[in-house]
Amino acid sequence: MDWAMKLLVALLALVAPGFSLENGLMRTPPMGWLAWERYRCSINCHEDPDNCINERLFMAMADRLAEDGWRELGYVYVNIDDCWMALQRDEGGVLVPDPERFPSGIRALADYVHSRGLKLGIYGDMGSMTCMGYPGTTLATVALDAQTFASWGVDMLKLDGCYSSSLERALGYPAMAKALNNTGRPIGYSCSWPAYDGGLPPEVNYTLLADICNLWRNFDDIEDSWQSVLSIVDWFSEHQDVLQPMAGPGHWNDPDMLLIGNYGLSFEQAKAQMALWTVLAAPLFMSTDLRAISPQNVDILQNKLMIRINQDPLGIQGRRVLKTKHHIEVFVRPLSKDASAVVFFSRRTDMPYRYRTSLGALNFTGHALYEAQDVYTENVISGLTRDTDFTVVINPSGVVMWHVYPIVGKESLPWL
């Protein structure tokens, strides 16, 4: 950004003081299903009718979410991404869905999704076109598009940022927050703004984002590979001092979708992504074919204790507290009732690694007696004080995840 632009952005921040989205939504990280990572812009429904972006795909995913136990666990959003629109707006300038692939219209799809006890998310782009070339939302159409989405009964908007200048984004993202508020319909607001401005201050103003967006994409798109997961985890860890304090009830950092159930991750890596996203208080958006997902992957995604930790009411994002020369990393997330989630993560590629440590070495300061439950095996480890040495065996590119909670305080432990 040159100085003139910086000045303009600073001035803009001054002219819109104190506005906040305040839609009361997403007090815990949102959960659901989002089309992009798995289904991209597959629009050839003649050749691949079951795997293309059309209303049938979203109805099928809604059916699975409602019937296979997902909804009760909190996976309630069914979210459309790019490539749902017709190439032109209508005569009135209103966005319209592709008539062949969404013949019933978005209102009807929203009704269907709502009838299954779920919520519908939609996608737009602050700019002249979406990333795949469909009509964008310009400054002139922000209010109209918000109104259109509300009139369709949409519950969440992902506003992407392709084909825009940083000035348009600086004006457009807050304008959309206001426009969504003005509709009177609570619509969760996911902003891709930071990802288009480098993800870091001073270009990105996270205080403002936390006021106007429920979640925001900070960094690159996830791809179906372990490499991609690692690059995201690295970036979030390197910049955790900036990012971690910005997350909280109603406003979350978004490291992008879960890959679990697709092609790029091994079983260990799938468990690792779930654990790392949970310790980071990340939104949990699956992007996989729920009609064909394996029981093993369902177990990872439907792990009750995992979800309870992800949805902890305090909404504190965890941090990487340790990185050893043996390629072990440890992440800790504080939870309500003095509990914590601990993820022991191995970046090794040789064999299961026996990692010996203690809670004290992981910055636990309390004098309580703790118990830990392994989130995946459900084994309980009792009698831990912060000085007790223990060993966890972490598989290559895998995790061990513990839910650690105090049993009694020091005052009841006269021998400590």
Active-site choice (220, 221, 234, 374): 221
Q: Quick one: 261 or 318, whose CB is closer to ligand GLA? A: 261
Q: Does 254 bind ligand GLA (CB under 6 A)?
A: no
Give the integer Cα–Cα distance in Å for 179 and 117.
26
> Site map for ligand GLA, 7-46, x if CB under 6 A?
-----------------------------x----------
Instruction: Please identify, among the stretches 125-133, 145-153, 281-289, 376-384, the one whose residues bind ligand GLA according to the rule CB under 6 A.
Output: 125-133
Minimum distance from residue 348 beta carbon to ligand GLA (Å) = 31
Q: Give the side-chain half-sphere CA count within 13 A for 71.
A: 17
Which of 192, 253, 346, 397 is close enough to bind ligand GLA by CB under 6 A? 192
Distances (CA, A) of 115 to 47, 66, 73, 151: 30, 10, 18, 17
- Backbone torsions φ then ψ of 305, nearest 5 degrees: -65, -40
Which of 63, 68, 111, 221 is close enough to bind ligand GLA by CB under 6 A? 221
Instruction: Please identify, among the stretches 10-18, 127-135, 206-214, 265-273, the one whose residues bind ligand GLA according to the rule CB under 6 A.
Output: 127-135
Q: What angle do CA 218, 110, 68 make, to 5 degrees?
A: 80
- How many Cβ atoms sit within 10 Å of the Cβ of residue 266? 13
Structure-token match 């309980």, residue found: 380
Say which DSSP state 248 is in. Answer: B
- Is 160 annotated in the active site? yes
Active-site choice (125, 160, 254, 312): 160
Report which of 63, 79, 64 is spatially closest to residue 31, judged by C-alpha positions: 79
- Is 221 annotated in the active site? yes
Q: Does 82 bind ligand GLA (CB under 6 A)?
A: yes
Q: Does 196 bind ligand GLA (CB under 6 A)?
A: no
Q: Quick one: 66 or 232, whose CB is closer to ligand GLA? A: 232
Give the integer Cα–Cα distance in Å for 315 and 280.
10
Minimum distance from residue 236 beta carbon to ligand GLA (Å) = 16
Give the integer Cα–Cα distance in Å for 70 and 356.
36
Q: In what order do the strands lie in the sheet with 340-346?
A: 319-323, 328-334, 340-346, 399-408, 369-374, 380-384
Which of 9, 53, 81, 112 is close enough to bind ligand GLA by CB under 6 A? 81
- 379 CB burial (10 A radius; 0-12, 13-18, 19+): exposed
Instruction: Please identify, among the stretches 53-61, 99-107, 126-134, 239-247, the one whose residues bind ligand GLA according to the rule CB under 6 A.
Output: 126-134
Which of 96, 131, 274, 275 is close enough to bind ligand GLA by CB under 6 A? 131
Minimum distance from residue 368 beta carbon to ligand GLA (Å) = 42
Q: Quick one: 82 or 312, whose CB is closer to ligand GLA? A: 82
Q: Does 262 bind ligand GLA (CB under 6 A)?
A: no
Quote the tokens at residue 131.
Answer: 């990333």
Size of the residue set binding ligand GLA (CB under 6 A)? 9
Say which DSSP state 163 is in. Answer: T
Instruction: Please identify, among the stretches 71-79, 87-95, 128-136, 343-351, the one whose residues bind ligand GLA according to the rule CB under 6 A.
Output: 128-136
Cis peptide leading into 99, omega within 30 of 0? Answer: no
Q: Does 193 bind ligand GLA (CB under 6 A)?
A: no
Which regions of 89-185 does DSSP assign to beta strands (E)? 119-125, 156-160
Binding site for ligand GLA (CB under 6 A): 36, 81-82, 130-132, 160, 192, 221
Residues with catalytic annotation?
A: 160, 221
